[in-house]
Chain A
Amino acid sequence: METIKFGNVTFSYPLSDRKALDDISFEVEKSKFIVVCGKSGCGKTTLLKHMKKNLKPYGNFQGSVTYCGDEIEDLDDRRNAAEIGFVQQNPDNQIVTDKVWHELAFGLESLGFDNRAIKRRVAEMASYFDIQAWFRKDVSQLSGGQKQLLNLASIMAMQPKLLVLDEPTSQLDPIASGDFLQTIYKINRDLGTTIILSEHRLEEAFTMADKVMVMDQGKIVAYDTPQTIGSFMAGNSTEDRHPMFYGLPAVTKIFQEAGGKGPSPLTIREGRLWVDKVMDDAGVEPLEEGAACDKADNQPAPKVTDPAITMDNVWFRYDKKSQDVLRGLTLRVAKNQLFCILGGNGVGKSTTLKAISGMLKLQRGKVDVQGKLAMLPQNPQALFTEISVEDELMEALHYDKESDEEKVRAVLDMLALMEITHLRKAHPYDLSGGEQQRLALGKVLLLEPDVVLLDEPTKGLDPFFKITLAGILRKLTENGTTILMVSHDIEFCAEYADQCAMFFDGSVVSIGTPQEFFSGNNFYTTAANKMAREYFPDAITWEEVAKCVGDSM
């Protein structure tokens, strides 16, 4: 029997005439892995929340949602708690207790198990999820990835049959989110738990899914296997494309764009083999490995005259006994550029931003910024003080001496630029993650800075708004603003940056245009480049690779 079945579900939120869910019908069979994707605000979260009784949103509901044949509405509370697990976006907000072991036991305590039974299950979970090492730690000492894993383990301890995850990795860095998705995959394979996952980062999720559901404006656009969904979204020509196409993984996009036929490859390995076959048919031999790398290694750092940001031999550590975070960092950022700093966790990227903004007292070295500086923190909520979006933007101009009309005009322009005009009366906290990010960016930009520092601006954004964001950033640099961003998002930086720099061990180790930068890297590069680097080492973005491969076909 199917685990979850939606029968003609239509739902709208109170005081809204827009249908959040519009006549949705589908079934999910037992032990399947389903990935739900779509633009922010397309109704994914609303859909997922209907699968758990106590999370069901309040509003105008028609149709039926059944779990194993029973209406969700009428499920016994105990069964609802134990059999349906729900993981939300924010790792911090879901944790309730102060210790890891206590959090693991929380659900079992609610179900009224005795100490011995809880101990056994908790031990099992801790071993399965490999969290013995931090079992007795305070939750405040965990990293974001560990917190989210703890949330998952705490739910799995109740042995649910259905696991619903609402963008669980949106707040995590790529490595932690990869680990998290692997864990979910393992649960699905080992335990046969049915998984319904909504995700923005489809590269990995696509390779795990049995079926992919694409949503748009409260409707299901497609519900099919990941191999065939690409060709459906691609349509017959470039004009015919569904907007959701741009959210697909690079491998699938390249395959469709280049005009591949049949089931599309999903992993980079499959993509590589496909490229091999295409090139073999065309009679092209692969280039000698490492040619590109040698070129990059011999490349001198570009000279920058009249930089917007200058950092000279900067050393910093947080306190006397700790290690140096910045070790002789020297960096010059040219004016009117989008400059991206890439690198792993904890190498000092965010510290660099703080150092530039003058929030740190440096041990040694000099930082010089030309013009007015503003910075967007990682968590947009840290900026919000007002009760509506427009007031929020107005607040940024609070200390300005312009007339009120001018301020209003500036606010309206910014609303339009950030594409949040339709949300102007909404409360900042009611916005989705991506919309909050836009509002925060708008607020920072209203200060009219010459130099903007961005800390992980693409975190939690859907692929569509990333394109919009890139457009906004482009407009800013054209108008004379310098942007320095710190990011984990390789694909974004490859496509839109003017300069990329690799940060490691407290300083910048390599620097160049995306082309030079990524073609010189072997591991730390885009999926598209990994796929075709044997033939086209200079093709970095999926469009470039698709064009190169397509021309050879």
Chain B
Amino acid sequence: MLKDGIGEGSEFSGYHPWVNLTYYILAIGITMFSLSPWFLAATFVSSWLYSVLLRGRGVIKMNLIFSFWTLVIMAGINVLFTHNGATVFFYIRGNGVTLEALIYGVSAAVMLISVIIWFVSFNVIMSADKLIFIFGKAAPVLGLTMSMIFRYVPLLKDRFQEIRMGQACLGRGSGKGFIGKMRQFGKEASILVSWSLESSIESADSMEARGYGLRGRTSFHLYKFTRRDTVLLLLMIILGAIVVAGCALGKTTVWFYPVYVLGNFDLMTAVTLAAYVLLLFLPIIIDISGEVRWKRSSLEM
């Protein structure tokens, strides 16, 4: 399961696009506004877990490299350029390097890393189809345009391959030197453009022949909003509301300067944190239980 990841067949991915989108808006949105160490830890850990769960072990190395450098650069820059803070380690040319600046740099870096790693799993869950659906809801033309783009990218790639081959057939495959290569590439690109423009006339004809441009175009999709979508959506909204309320009450607030101050860890903080952790772990729980169910049913067979 962990080797290649669950991928697009994940249980959570099977939910309605609106549910998926709500989850990511909440997860990423709240991450961007909380610098409290508890919350950062929660989002950091769950974003990592979920990306590895979906994409498999291969993604760990990429995540690590990216995380390490972001951390070093952001912490380094903040330490070197921000001299606020009461606890001074040492001075460089009369400017203090402070503990508070270091903590702020690390916190901000962890936040940024989490957001980006959230997008790793986002890319798996929010497939092109779902994005097209969501944009199509906003405006049918927008959805169609996206769909056409996704159609043309592989088509143009194939065509370019074919042109390359055609040129090689004429013995023009490998130009000599950099200029020769660039000239050859320019020629191939120009064939691609004129070919594509020419064929797009036929595409336009085919669209018009099938009534494109009539009033009242709708946008078809294959998604059904079922009961489990409603349940999960409600649960996420409730949990999200608790977390937002907690934030509004200042339970996630941290002061960095002049001295690093954490709010009291009271009951409300605990409740907010618990709701947040549960919210972030929802898809992980759903996916793992889905996998377990598969395993069990295949054992029974």
CB distance A105 to B168 under 8 Å? no
B38 to chain A, nearest CB (A): 42
Residue B165 lies at the interface, judged by CB distance under 8 Å to chain A: yes
Is B207 an interface position by the 8 A CB rule? yes
Contact code string A133-155 (vs B, CB < 8 Å = 1, else 0): 00010111000000000010011
A112 touches B214 (CB 8 A): yes
In the bound complex, residues from chain B placing their C-beta under 8 Å from that of A115 are: 218, 220-221
Give the CA-CA distance A375 to B155 in the complex, in Å. 23
Q: Is the CB of A86 within 8 A of B209?
A: yes
The residue in chain A whose Cβ has the minimal distance to the Cβ of B149 is A98
Which residues 171-208 in B have Cβ within 8 Å of A in the complex?
Answer: 171, 173, 187, 190-191, 194-195, 198-200, 202-203, 205-208
- Give Cα distance in the complex from A90 to B166, angstroms: 19
Q: Which of B49-57, B97-105, B140-148, B244-252 contacts A (4 or more CB under 8 A)?
A: B140-148
Are B128 and A98 interface neighbours, CB within 8 A?
yes
Whole-angstrom distance from the CB of B140 to the nearest CB of chain A? 7
Q: Could you tell me if B210 and A429 are in contact, using CB atoms closer than 8 angstroms?
A: no
How distant is A303 from chain B, measured CB to nearest CB, in Å?
A: 31
Interface-centre pick from A109, A122, A453 (highest chain B CB count, 10 A): A109
- Chain A residues within an 8 Å CB radius of B168: 357, 359
Which of A86, A95, A379, A385 is close to B162, meaning CB atoms less than 8 Å apart? A379
Residue A314 is within 8 A (CB to CB) of chain B in the complex: no
Docked complex Cα distance between A158 and B200 (Å): 23
* Shortest beta-carbon distance from A55 to chain B in Å: 6
Bound state CA distance, A114 and B158, in angstroms?
A: 35
* Residue A501 lies at the interface, judged by CB distance under 8 Å to chain B: no
A77 to B217, CA, bound (A): 14
User: How many chain B residues touch A (Cβ–Cβ < 8 Å)?
Assistant: 51
Asked if B199 and A383 make an inter-chain contact with CB atoms under 8 angstroms apart, the answer reads no
A101-117 CB contacts (< 8 Å) to partner B: 101-102, 105-115
Set of chain A residues within 8 Å of B140, measured between Cβ atoms: 109
CB <8 Å contact, B129 and A99: yes
Are A96 and B216 CB-contacts (below 8 A) given A101-B222, A154-B210, A158-B210?
no
Contact B205 A88 (CB under 8 A): yes
CB contact under 8 A between A78 and B203, given known A108-B220, A118-B218, A447-B171 = no
Minimum C-beta distance from B154 to chain A (A):
4
Q: Is the CB of A110 within 8 A of B211?
A: yes
Q: A99-B129, A102-B220 are in contact. Are A107 and B171 (CB under 8 A)?
A: no
Tell me if B151 is interfacial: C-beta within 8 Å of chain A.
Answer: yes
B199 touches A93 (CB 8 A): yes
The docked-state distance in angstroms from the alpha carbon of A92 to that of B148 is 13
Q: Tell yes or no: B215 within 8 A of A by CB.
A: yes
B163 cross-chain contacts in A, Cβ below 8 A: 382
Chain B residues near A (Cβ < 8 Å): 128-129, 132, 140, 144, 147-148, 150-151, 154-155, 158-159, 162-163, 165-171, 173, 187, 190-191, 194-195, 198-200, 202-203, 205-222
What is the interface of chain A, defined by CB distance below 8 A to chain B?
A: 52, 54-55, 77-78, 81-82, 85-86, 88, 90, 92-99, 101-102, 105-115, 118-119, 122, 136, 138-140, 151, 154-155, 158, 354, 357, 359, 374-377, 379, 381-385, 396, 429, 443-444, 447, 453
Across the A-B interface, give the 6 residue pairs with the lowest CB-CB distance, nearest first: A81-B211, A382-B166, A110-B211, A112-B216, A107-B210, A98-B150
**Known contacts A94-B206, A113-B218, A151-B206, then 12 further A-B pairs from the complex at CB < 8 Å, ordered by chain A residue:** A55-B205, A92-B199, A95-B206, A105-B220, A106-B210, A109-B218, A110-B210, A112-B215, A118-B218, A379-B166, A383-B191, A444-B170
